[in-house]
Amino acid sequence: MDRLTSMAVFVRVAEKGSFAAAAVEFGLSATMVANHVRALEDGLGARLLDRTTRRHALTEIGAAYLERCRDVLASVQAADHVAEALRAVPQGTLRVSAPVSWGTHRLVPVLGDYLARHPRVRIELSLNDRVVDLAEEGFDCAFRSGELADTHLVARPLCRARMLVAASPAYLERHGTPVTPQELAGHALLGFAPWGAEPVLRFERAHERARVPVRGPLVINNGQALLAAALAGIGVAVQADALLDPAIERGELVRLLADWSLPSRPLHVLRLPEARPSAKLRSFVDFVVERLG
């Protein structure tokens, strides 16, 4: 039997003086109420009640145990109230994982608005391009780009990431500006390690299709570092708009093949499948979907 339930039953028996009265309150049979009390007595190895035909009186041990039961039940109730408060009002620390480039250029700029709405929440943001394990690593939610592999997680879709092609003016001055995917194949394409070995870019334009293998002098596992390589004129970058757009707008990079498109990448915010997620997690996911969805 559940010990806390048995304690609660025992307290009401002691206060009401009978099994029958306690049975009515808990919606149990008198026999089941007696079983709860007996289970406590068996566990303690002592009698808690002296049974008579008319009333049940506390033993000396029973009186002392009654007070401790009240303390325990009050603590449990207080803990429940704390948990309910945490679920009702966004508060506490929220641990979030996001890809480096998207997190830097898309997520971080809107976090100030969320924190202004919910000043009792503190966000710990971890930026990395690997797939984290939410349960094992203690994250409340994670943002992931690309197709989802963890089907057991709860996913909310966000805006898809457009893939752009860009190079620095200095690089183009030295090597020329490609105007077709076929010409791009002859350039130094910067590789991105998460793409895997021998990646291929698939371009589309109206009814045209073109495939360009990525064979360049440099492969990097971090988007920010890849951007730095493109800015330094080492090669041509193929990355998400979140990373390349600011540099293109400043004129530090030139967008290439703008009339061609690459497959966009889906982006989701993921959380564990809790039946009742906390208020801080619910409010954060709803906010991100509202602002970036």
**Within a domain: residue 221?**
yes
104 and 67 in a common domain: no
The structure's pTM equals 0.63
**Structure tokens, 124:** 């710990």
Determine the structural domain holding residue 131 and report its residue range. 92-159+266-292
Distance CA(121)–CA(126), nearest Å, equals 16
b/e string for 131-141 if b means 16 or more Cβ within 10 A?
A: ebebeeeebbb
Last residue of a domain, one of 47, 82, 117: 82
**Within a domain: residue 261?**
no
Share of the chain above pLDDT 90, in %: 59
144 and 167 in a common domain: no
Burial of 72 (0-12, 13-18, 19+ CB in 10 A): middle
Q: Determine the distance from the C-alpha atom of residue 107 to the mean position of all C-alpha atoms in its chain, rounded to a whole number.
A: 14
Closest CA to 242 of 107, 97, 125, 146: 107
Whether the per-residue pLDDT at 86 is higher than 70: the answer is no
Whether the per-residue pLDDT at 53 is higher than 60: the answer is no
Last residue of a domain, one of 25, 47, 82: 82
**Structure tokens, 69:** 């039961």
98 and 77 in a common domain: no
Split into its structural domains, the chain has a count of 3
Q: What is the pLDDT of residues 213-248, one digit of tens each?
A: 998 899 998 888 999 999 999 999 999 998 999 999
**Within a domain: residue 87?**
no
Output the domain CATH number for residue 168.
3.40.190.290
Q: What pLDDT does residue 87 have?
A: 65
Whether the per-residue pLDDT at 1 is higher than 90: the answer is no
Distance CA(253)–CA(210), nearest Å, equals 23
276 and 152 in a common domain: yes
Last residue of a domain, one of 82, 107, 129: 82
Whether the per-residue pLDDT at 271 is higher than 70: the answer is yes
